[in-house]
Structure formats: structure tokens, C-alpha cells
Homo-oligomer: A and B are copies of this chain.
Amino acid sequence: MSLDRLIDRITEMQNPTVAGLDPKLEYVPESIKDECFKKYGRSLKGAAEALISFNKALIDSLYDIVPAVKPQAAYYEMYGYEGVRALCETIAYAKSKGMFVITDAKRNDIGTTMQAYAAAHLGLTDVGGMDIEPFGADALTVNGYLGSDGIAPLLDICQKQDKGIFVLVKTSNPSSGELQDMKLESGKTVYEQMGAMCEKWGEALPGKYGYSGVGAVVGATYPEMLKELREKLPHTFFLVPGYGAQGGGAEDTKYAFDKNGIGAVINSSRGIMCAWKAQGKSHEAFAEAAREEALRMREDLRQFL
């Protein structure tokens, strides 16, 4: 009913990293693509099989040193329902290796519809009296623009199934401030208000480390705001994108951690998936390069734990 399972794994592994699995086909080496295209054609099915092979190799290379993975739904949806099958198989494989899985789908809707999204990504679906798990992630990113009744069905499933959510508070992209940084009459910014809502929603899902089951997405690309939010949101665990390829460094992420060295998980996607490039290795060595980068990142971040 909280994010304790994630924090437990971070503590055990002494590594607050989540590896983003955003597998564009161009990140997949030719040998994998050739094999899949030969077997299934240059089709969405062929593409999906290539993504699955790529992801499995990355997971095999990372699962004993990285506590969590974060597949980004968009990069699967772009290959149609076959791509969505690749998402499903990636989640199952990562879980079979003991990893905590955060599906980054930023879902949002009115209450009745959020029930369907909650069942889809974190819960169970009833099919003629059978309870079936459609995707089975451990946590889901969501957008809180619709307010409490778009969040309530998730809290319910988090409580029953021991899952968590991460609400977008201050995103890592250049234009995030257009709405999020606007000042409200109360003197608070929109992102502070969203953060305050996370603290309130989280009251229903307390955790043993003091962090609730309602986390927040806060970008490493805005370190001052990260610092401010860490102080103002003492029960809200952070998912921090923007490290690596988006320009944030370890110095920028340090504010995400509390005085006990917990409070956040830092995401790297392209930095890990495409590490072979930065390391001057061949594309075929992507999994080995990913592990090397994950070990480097672990050292980089351990200083804050």
C-alpha cells in the first residue's frame, strides 16, 4: 500500500537508480532486428519481437545491480498493439527477475474511467468471473489535472494490491513552467499546489519509511525546485527524470534525497540504453555497456545515500 517495496530494494542494493526502458527501434542493434524481421517480417510484430529481445538483454544485464525499471508506454504504443504486447512481456520478465516495475504512462481521466486504467496497469480485470492481470506493474505515473476523483480509484488499488503511483508535479522538460510555475492567488505555484495534493492523497497510504504510496515526478533539470519540494513534501517519494541525456547530473539530483539518504529514485533511460555510444563500443555490446554505465551511475549517486 506504499512505495516501501521499492525503498527496500533501493536500500538493499544501495542504488537509487531506475533504468528507463524506452526502446525505440533505432536503439536496437541490427543483429536483433535482422533476426526478428526475418522471422516475422518488417511489421509491427517484427518490431515488437525486437523490442522484447532488446529489453530482456538489458534486464539480464541490470537486474542484480539496479532495483527498478521504468518502461515508457509511448515507445511501445508507437508499435501498435504488438508493441503493447512487448510492454506486457517486458513487465513480466522484469518482475520475474525481482525488479520493481514503474509503468510510465501518465494516465489521467475521470473517476469511473480511472478505475479502468487502475485495473489495467496495477490491478485485475474480471473476465466472466476470472480475475486476470492485464499488465501488472508495481507502480504507475499519473497526471493529477482532474483532481481527487481521478486519483481515488488508484489509491484503492494501491491499498489492496500493495502498489504505488507517481503524480506529475514538476516535469523535466523545458516548457514545464508554462503552467506549472504560474503563481496562484494563494502565493503557491501550480506545481506546489499539485505537490500539496500528493501529500494529502498519500495520507491514505502511509509507509514504514515515512513515505506514502503517492510519489511525485520532479525533474532533475530544475534542482532549486527539487530542493524546495523535498522540504515541503516530507511524505512524498520522488521519481526524478532528467539525469544524463536530459542534462541533469548527480549534483542536480542530490536535493531529492532526505537527511537519511532516502526519498528518491533517479531515472536514466538513453544514458543506460545507449551507453555503448558514449563508451565507444560497438552497438552489439549494448547490454555490457549498459551495465557499465549503471555501475558508474550507482557510484555517482551513492554519495548521497
Question: Which A residues have a C-beta under 8 Å from some C-beta of B?
Answer: 22, 24-25, 33, 37, 42-44, 46-47, 72, 74-75, 77-85, 87-88, 106-111, 113-114, 116-117, 119-121, 125-130, 132, 134-135, 143-150, 168, 171-180, 182-186, 190, 193-194, 197, 241
Question: Mind listing 28 A-B residue pairs with CB under 8 Å?
Answer: A25-B127, A42-B129, A42-B130, A43-B132, A44-B132, A47-B128, A74-B107, A77-B117, A77-B120, A79-B134, A80-B88, A81-B82, A106-B107, A106-B143, A111-B173, A143-B143, A143-B145, A145-B145, A145-B180, A146-B176, A146-B180, A147-B178, A148-B175, A149-B174, A179-B190, A179-B194, A182-B193, A184-B190
Chain B residue, CB-CB nearest to A130? B42
Smallest CB–CB gap between A179 and chain B, Å?
A: 6
Chain B residue, CB-CB nearest to A200? B178
**What's the Cα separation between A154 and B117 when bound, in Å?**
23
Q: A81-B87, A111-B173, A184-B185 are in contact. List 20 more A-B contacts (CB 8 A).
A: A22-B113, A42-B127, A46-B128, A78-B117, A78-B119, A78-B134, A80-B134, A81-B84, A83-B120, A106-B143, A110-B172, A143-B145, A145-B168, A145-B179, A147-B178, A149-B174, A149-B175, A150-B173, A179-B194, A182-B185
